[in-house]
Amino acid sequence: MSRDHHHRYPYRPITDRPVYDWPGGARLALYFGVNHEVFDFGGGLGAELAPSQTDPDVMNYAWRDYGNRVGVWRLFDLFDRLDLRTTALLNADVLDRCPGLAEACRDRGDEIAAHGGSNAAAQGGMHRHGEDRMIRDVTERLAALGTRPTGWLGPWISESRHTPDLLAKEGYSYVLDWAHDDQPTRLATRGGSLLSIPYSQEINDIPAIIQRRQEAETFAGMIRSAVDQLLSECDRRPLVLGIALHPYIMGQAHRVPPLARVLTALREANDPRIWWTTAGEIAAYVTANGLAA
C-alpha cells in the first residue's frame, strides 16, 4: 500500500457527522461559482473547442475570449432576472485585460473570490516562494476592488503540496480545489484554519460539455437531478452544492435557455430547504458557528 498521503483531512463518512441547519432552517446550501478567466495568445493552457492546428491558436483563444466579451453579460442578465448573487472566481489579470468586468461583478453584489493570476498557467508546479508571491500579488490586486478575497480556486484546480499552508498564512478562510465531500470540511495546515467548501467537478460545464461532449439540455438535467437527490437526503444532514459555470461555455446563446429553464423552475418553487448563497457566506457561517467535520 502506498505510504503517500496528503494528511489534510481524515476519513469520516458523511453518515457520521454533526447535524445542523443552514440559516433560516435550510438544509441545502446552493451557490454558483462563475469562472472569469483570461488566457494567453500564442501559448499557455486553455480549454479547447477543437484541437489546435496552428500557433497562435486563434480559434480557441477567440472562443474563450467570447465569454468575457459577450457570454458573461448574458449570464448577468439571467442572474439579475432571477435575483441571484454568485461567487465570482476572478483571475486577477481580468482587471487589466477586461476593464469593467470585475467591477460589474462587484457592483451586482457578487462575492469576489481569487482564481489565480490567469488561466494560462497552473500553480501546482511552482516553487514555494514563487507561489507565495503569486498568492500575495493576486490577493492585493483583487482587494483593490474594495474587499479582500477570503476564498481561492486554483487555476485548473492545481495545487502544490504547500498551497493550503500558503493560503492559510495569507488569511484565506476557504479553498474550492478539493471536490471530496458534500459538506464543508477542515483542512489541516501549518498555521491557521482553512475550510474546503464543496465545488463540484461533476455539476461543472467544462467536464460535462467539453470533456464528455454533452449539451446544455443534459447539463441542465444534471443540475435538476443533483438538487432533487440532495433534497431527498437533507433531512438527515446539511449539504452543499456548488455549480461551476464558465461564460465562454454556458454563456453561449444556445446554452442559456436550458440553464434559464432549470434555474427559473428552482427559484419559482421557493423551497425553504434551499439556501441560495455564496461560497463565502457558507464559509463564514461554518466558521462563526464552529461547524464542519
Alpha helices in 56-203 (DSSP H): 58-66, 72-81, 94-97, 101-107, 128-143, 163-169
- What mean pLDDT is predicted for residues 87-109? 98
Phi-psi region of 25 (alpha: psi -120 to 50; beta: other; left: phi over 0): left
CA 22 to chain centre: 20
CATH architecture of 23-38+62-288: Alpha-Beta Barrel (3.20)
Residue 113 phi/psi, 5° resolution?
-120, 155
**Residue 290 or 149, more confident:** 149
Each as own residue / partner, the long-range contacts of residues 70-74 (CB below 8 Å, 24 or more positions apart, any chain) are 70/251, 71/247, 71/248, 71/249, 71/250, 71/251, 71/252, 72/34, 72/36, 72/101, 72/247, 72/251, 73/251, 74/247, 74/251, 74/253, 74/256
CA 265 to chain centre: 23
What is the model's pTM?
Answer: 0.95
Domain parsing of the chain, residue ranges: 23-38+62-288
pLDDT in tens, 143-190: 999 999 999 999 988 999 999 999 999 999 999 999 999 999 999 999
Query: Which of 36-50, 113-127, 134-148, 249-263 has the weakest average pLDDT?
Result: 36-50
